[in-house]
Amino acid sequence: MFSRILILRFPKSEARNPIVCHLTKDFDLIFNILNATILPRKEGVMVLELSGTRKDFRDGVKFLRDQGIDVENASQEIKRVKKKCTHCGACTAVCPTSALFIKRPEMSVEFEQKKCSICELCVPACPTRAMEIRPSNQTFFE
């Protein structure tokens, strides 16, 4: 089983079409949507984990690109610089996956990397800039 986290950027012409469903139906791929912002008549961005055989994966990515969708490997990750964190909790208010949360009764901010969908909402929300985007070691799928 081959699996990668991808960032899809949809042009406004494709934002209303059920493109991702074709990955399962036509290419036997399994997808898990980690984050999505797709608005009608505007561009959209989706972060998803895509799994299947290497051949099906490559064919599915080719299909997406043929539809005008920009496909990128999520070659970055969010890291927290503990020395900069003041545990104010501002990042927890914007985190859609609860990767950032307040540990009680200590009232300290904790970060579970595995839950992070790389949406980057925590980066501008952090007043001390303790949340940073860094390149990951993951290589692209081609």
Nearest to 98 by CA among 113, 82, 88, 84: 113
What pLDDT was estimated at residue 142?
Answer: 41
Please give the backbone phi and psi of residue 60, each rounded to the nearest 5 degrees, phi first.
Answer: -65, -40
pTM greater than 0.75: no
10-residue stretch averages of pLDDT, the chain, 142 residues long: 84 78 94 80 82 93 93 82 95 92 95 84 94 68 43
Q: Are 9 and 48 in contact (CB under 8 A)?
A: no
3-state class (DSSP) for residue 82:
coil
- pLDDT at res. 141: 45
User: Domains (ranges, CATH) in the chain?
Assistant: 2-73 (3.30.70.260), 76-135 (3.30.70.20)
CA atoms within 13 A on the CB side of 72: 12
> Nearest 5°: phi and psi at 80?
-110, 130
Determine the pLDDT at residue 96.
86
pLDDT given for residue 88 in this prediction? 96
